[in-house]
Amino acid sequence: MTAISPHTLDYKSIAASLETLTDQVLDYRQLNINAISQLFHDTVKHARKTKTDVRLFRQNYIQLLPSSVHITLTGNIYFDLKIYNNNIRIYLGCGSDKKAKHCFDVARGIKIARIVGENCPQTQKGLDAMKKLAGIGIAEIYDTIYFSDKKGVEKIAIFQPIYKYNLREALASFKIANGQKEEIAYQLTKAVAHINQSGIHGDLKPENILLDSNHGVAITDFDFYLDHHEESNKPRGTCTWTSPEYISHRRRDKLDAWALGAILYNMLYNQRLPFQNLKTALEVLRAIRYLPLNWQDQLSFTPKHRLEPIIRDLLQVDPDKRISAQTAVEMFEKIRDS
């Protein structure tokens, strides 16, 4: 299918797109292609003129435009895709507060993900952080739409690329060869250093590290992000990936570095840290808080790996002795060049 620029959308191009999509989107087999195409054309013109969200405008045409069609105020058009396997609809995933579905991006001519969650200050803060940090190792965002569901709850739909899997899924199913792990570790370390130039992610863990088909790293879920100058007493992160000094007195400047060390250990040595096997959050937090200073000596660094010194330094209990992600990048590059 030929990609269409949202800035050159017209009646004929939209009609052609819809006719092509009828083979993929079952909902549109019974629709009047010409009528809905004209609606799109008018809606896009209205959105550009008024600079408002077109979902309000389209309510007059709900019989033509079902909820599975999404038009942004910039004129981008997305269709929900219903993908089945053995008559069971396949979803991209579902987290604690967000649901991900397949979607078709008319402008790009590709399948993408539509992630829906509650529109709250924390979610908006995370989106703002991702847009500010866009670039090295940060999950890309194509578009957003704000709306209210049938119960009147404010929601947000986030449109972004489809990533192949997260790091936890990849490691659990042994989908990453040992030779690829070091490159992923390097990309991840660079991405964390990039984030830490401005603030902290606050919830680094394998589930929040996405991988594309080429094992490119993209960090997501910035709901706990804080700029360096911001103050907050709210707990951050997931207990199994949090640092001793954060548990003790909420010191957070080296929180991401600790989590990075824990993730690299998990990935390169195919095993969890001892406290990550405890049953309750209280047990985990107590174990981390009272780790001895040289606790790394109790860990198994087998088989030997040339990144061991970096991981040991990232897992220093004393945050003043723990290296930053940027220092880890520099050590990494020296090892690679040697």
Average pLDDT over residues 34-50: 63
Q: What is the pLDDT of residue 312?
A: 97
3 state DSSP class of 173? coil
Tokens linked to 315: 């897992």
pLDDT per position as a tens digit, 44-83: 666 666 665 555 555 554 454 556 777 776 667 787 777 6
Q: What is the pLDDT of residue 117?
A: 87
Identify the band that residue 33 occupies on the pLDDT scale cut at 50, 70 and 90: low
Tokens linked to 91: 């979803």
Identify the band that residue 6 occupies on the pLDDT scale cut at 50, 70 and 90: very low
Angle, CA 157 vertex, CA 155 and CA 158 arms, to 5°: 140
- Those residues whose C-beta lies under 8 Å from the C-beta of residue 281, and which sit 6 or more positions away, are 239
DSSP state of 322: S
Average pLDDT over residues 102-130: 87
- Quick one: which of 78, 229, 275, 212 has its CA closest to 157? 78
pLDDT per position as a tens digit, 280-310: 999 999 999 999 999 999 999 988 999 999 9
**Residue 91 C-alpha from the chain's centroid:** 16
Q: What is the pLDDT of residue 76?
A: 77
Which long-range CB contacts under 8 A does 249-256 form with residues at least 24 apart?
251/319, 252/200, 252/202, 252/226, 253/200, 253/228, 253/319, 254/319, 254/322, 254/324, 255/200, 255/202, 256/192, 256/195, 256/196, 256/200, 256/201, 256/202, 256/204, 256/325
Domains delineated in the chain: 11-160 (3.30.200.20), 165-337 (1.10.510.10)
Residue 246 in this model has a pLDDT that exceeds 50: yes
